[in-house]
Structure 1
Amino acid sequence: MKNTLTANNNIDNSVIDNTAVENTAMENTAVKGTALPVITANHVSKSFLTDNGEDLKVLTHISMTLHEGEIVAILGRSGAGKSTFLRILAGLVPPSDGRVKYRGKPLTGPNPGVAMVFQTFALMPWLTVESNVELGLQAQGVGRKERKAAALKAIDSIGLDGFESAYPKELSGGMRQRVGIARALVLKPDALFMDEPFSALDVLTAENLRQEVLKLWADGSGALRSILIVTHNIEEAVQMADRVVVLGSHPGHVIADVPITLPRPRDKHTAAFESTVDSLYAILTGQADAARGGHREEALSGLQQMFADSSQGSHSLPDATPGGMAGLLEIVADHEDGVDLADLASALTFEVDDLFPLLDAGTLLGMLDVEEGHVSLTPAGREWNDADILDSKMIFARMAISHVPLIRAIDRTLRQSKNGKVRGDLIVDLLRGKHNDEAAQQQFRIAVEWGRYGELFDYDSDDDTLTLDDNAQ
Structure 2
Amino acid sequence: MTIAKETIRSLRAVTPQSTIIEARHISQRFTADNGTELTVLHDISFNLYEGEIVAILGRSGAGKSTFLRALAGLVKPTSGTVKYRGETLTGPNPGIALVFQTFALMPWLTVQDNVELGLKARGVPKAKRTKLALDAIDMIGLDGFESAYPKELSGGMRQRVGIARALVLQPDALFMDEPFSALDVLTAENLRQEVLKLWSSEQRSIKSVLMVTHNIEEAVEMADRVVVLGSHPGHLIANVRVDLPRPRDRHSAAFEAMMDKLYAILTRQATQPAQPAHKAEAPELSASSANVPAMDETNLQTAEPLEKIKGRPLPNATPGGLAGLLDVVAEHPDGIDLADLASDLSFEVDDLFPLVDAGTLLHVIVVRDGHVQITEAGDAWHQADILRAKQVFASLAMEHVPLVRNIEHALRHASGGHLRGELMLDLLHARYSDEDAHQQFAIAVEWGRYGELFDYDADDDLLTLDEANKGA
Instruction: Please say whether Structure 1 and Structure 2 have the same fold, judged by a TM-score greater than 0.5.
Output: yes
Equivalent residue runs for 1:35-434 within 5 Å: 35-286=17-268, 293=289, 297=293, 302-305=299-302, 314-434=311-431
The alpha carbon displacement at 1:172 in A equals: 0.3
Shift of 1:371: 1.0
Q: CA deviation at 1:56?
A: 1.0
Task: Kindly provide the CA deviation profile for residues 376-402 of structure 1, in whole angstroms up to 9, marking residues without a partner as x.
Answer: 101000000000000000000000000
Q: How many residues align?
A: 453
- Measure, in 2, the Cα distance between the counterparts of 1:164 and 1:114: 24
* Unmatched runs of 5 consecutive residues or more in structure 2: 271-284
Contact 1:248 1:287 in 2 (8 A): no
In 2, Cα distance between equivalents of 1:283 and 1:148: 47
Q: Check the 8 A contact 2:177/2:213 in 1, yes or no.
A: yes
Instruction: Report Cα offsets for 1:330-361 as digits up to 9, x if no partner.
Output: 01101111111111111111111000011111
Shift of 1:434: 1.6
Q: Structure 1 287/75 Cα, relative in aligned 2: closer, same or farther at 3 Å?
A: farther
The one-letter code of the counterpart of 1:84 is T
Inter-partner Cα distance in structure 2 for 1:94 and 1:76: 21
| Cα 1:144–1:445 shift into 2, 3 Å | same
Question: Quick check: 1:243–1:260 contact (8 Å CA) kept in 2?
Answer: yes
Q: Report % sequence identity.
A: 64
Q: Aligned letter for 2:247? A: P
Aligned-pair distance for 1:305? 4.9
In 2, Cα distance between the equivalents of 1:206 and 1:262?
21
Cα distance, 1:50 vs structure 2:
1.1
Question: 1:125/1:292 Cα in 2 relative to 1: closer, same or farther (>3 Å)?
Answer: farther
Q: Report the TM-score, using the length of structure 2 for normalisation.
A: 0.92
Cα distance in 2 for residues equivalent to 1:65 and 1:58: 20
Give how far 1:225 is off: 2.0
Report the alpha carbon displacement of residue 293 of structure 1 after superposing the two structures with TM: 1.7
Alpha-carbon deviations, 1:224-243, whole Å to 9, x = none?
32000000000100111111
| Contact persistence 1:216–1:223 (CA under 8 A) | no
| Structure 2 partner of 1:12 | none
TM-score by length of 1: 0.92
Q: Secondary structure at the match of 1:200?
A: coil
SS at 1:426 equivalent: helix
| Letter paired with 1:293 | S
Contact residue 21 and residue 219 of structure 1 kept, 8 A: no
Cα 1:318–1:438 shift into 2, 3 Å: same
Secondary structure at 1:130 match in 2: helix
Gaps of 5+ in 1: 5-16
CA contact (8 A) 2:28 2:78 kept: yes
Secondary structure at the residue paired with 1:24?
coil
In 1, Cα distance between equivalents of 2:360 and 2:259: 21
CA RMSD of aligned residues (A): 2.1
CA distance, structure 2, for counterparts of residue 290 and residue 135 of structure 1: 55
Larger CA deviation: 258-267 vs 290-299:
290-299
Paired with 2:185 and 2:294, the residues of 1 have a C-alpha distance of 46
